[in-house]
């Protein structure tokens, strides 16, 4: 039982909270701008590498590099929006989707040019952990990642629920034409969405880097689970994205838990982890395309 917690369930929740940070952005952006932002994973990578530079330059912990990385994430998001998406606001969705695919390739190449193509880590050596119970150990980093993700998610929630701009964001996600008629500054709302999406993605990238390692394709590789989480929760529904992310994270980890079959063979080889997210996404799209929280249809 403790094995289930230590090696599958808890890491699943960690992975889920990292996915949640990315999936909230994907979901909010889809709600406001009506397109699937394929470069979102690469925004995560960018955030992770900005932090990596801070870590190597100033010899600080990656947690201390979060503010710099958030600034970088916001900057690049707003720049990309102005240059690559804003000219296509009135165009068909597919134009924006293709544009974001192009942005994704560009971002990854820029990262490779600046930081190289090798795997990097924020720190090496054995990562400290604490014993919660007999045989149940938690890495200290996992505690920080979870606390960090949950506080950011909570802050986002407070913003969406209580601020004028946050409410305007939800209003625009409901109906952008009515938002315009009501007098809402739609461009301002779009900028705010990029600020939130860009910050959360940057932090997600750092957390992913802490949990695993850095590589130029680290974010791109998460795109499938991010979208699976957003779709599972109901696209355009940030709260749904959080629930979806947790389910996907835990499902991916549990898929290789050996205890289910009663023998010591894993249910699925860990190599098929991403397949689990893909499977959930396809099933949802076929049977319940609006997701668990009644989002928009793709």
Closest CA to 130 of 117, 122, 140, 116: 140
Tell me which stretch binds another protein (CB under 8 A): 33-41, 92-100, 180-188, 254-262: 180-188
C-alpha 54/C-alpha 95 separation (Å) is 36
Window 154-173: contact mask with another protein (x via CB under 8 A):
----------x--xx-xx-x
Q: Is 297 in the site for another protein (CB under 8 A)?
A: no
State the nearest-atom distance from the C-beta of 183 to another protein, in Å.
4
Comparison of 178 and 265: residue with beta carbon closer to another protein: 178
Within a 10 A sphere around the Cβ of 162, how many other Cβ atoms?
A: 9
State the nearest-atom distance from the C-beta of 252 to another protein, in Å.
29
State the nearest-atom distance from the C-beta of 177 to another protein, in Å.
7
- Gyration radius of the chain over CA positions: 19
Question: Phi and psi at residue 201, in whole multiples of 5°?
Answer: -65, -40
C-alpha 119/C-alpha 122 separation (Å) is 10
Sign, Cα dihedral of 125, 130, 136, 142: negative
Comparison of 249 and 295: residue with beta carbon closer to another protein: 295
Q: Is 178 in the site for another protein (CB under 8 A)?
A: yes
Question: Phi and psi at residue 131, in whole multiples of 5°?
Answer: -90, 115
Which residues partner with 139 through β-bridges?
129
User: Count of residues binding another protein (CB under 8 A)?
Assistant: 17
Tell me which stretch binds another protein (CB under 8 A): 87-95, 183-191, 205-213, 276-284: 183-191
Using CB under 8 A as the criterion, which residues of the chain lie in contact with another protein when the complex forms?
Answer: 164, 167-168, 170-171, 173-175, 177-185
């Amino acid at each position: 039982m403790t094995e289930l917690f230590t090696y599958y369930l808890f890491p699943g929740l960690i992975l889920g909270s990292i996915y949640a940070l990315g999936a909230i952005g994907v979901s909010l952006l889809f709600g406001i701008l009506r397109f699937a932002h394929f470069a979102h994973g690469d925004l995560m990578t960018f955030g992770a590498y900005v932090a990596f530079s801070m870590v190597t330059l100033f010899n600080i912990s990656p947690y201390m590099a979060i503010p710099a990385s958030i600034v970088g994430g916001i900057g690049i998001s707003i720049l990309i929006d102005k240059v690559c998406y804003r000219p296509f606001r009135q165009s068909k969705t597919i134009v924006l989707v293709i544009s974001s695919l192009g942005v994704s390739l560009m971002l990854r190449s820029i990262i490779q040019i600046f930081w190289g193509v090798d795997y990097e880590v924020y720190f090496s050596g054995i990562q400290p952990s604490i014993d919660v119970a007999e045989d149940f150990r938690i890495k200290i980093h996992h505690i920080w990642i979870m606390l960090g993700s949950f506080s950011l998610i909570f802050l986002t929630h407070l913003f969406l629920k209580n601020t004028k701009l946050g409410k305007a964001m939800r209003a625009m996600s409901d109906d952008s034409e009515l938002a315009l008629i009501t007098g809402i500054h739609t461009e301002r709302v779009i900028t705010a969405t990029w600020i939130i999406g860009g910050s959360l993605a940057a932090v997600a990238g750092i957390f992913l880097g802490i949990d695993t390692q850095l590589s130029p394709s680290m974010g791109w590789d998460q795109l499938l689970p991010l979208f699976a989480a957003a779709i599972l929760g109901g696209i355009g529904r940030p709260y749904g994205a959080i629930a979806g992310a947790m389910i996907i994270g835990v499902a991916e980890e549990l898929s290789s838990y050996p205890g289910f079959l009663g023998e010591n063979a894993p249910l699925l080889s860990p190599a098929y982890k991403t397949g689990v997210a893909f499977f959930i996404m396809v099933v949802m799209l076929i049977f319940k395309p609006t997701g668990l929280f009644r989002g928009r249809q793709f």
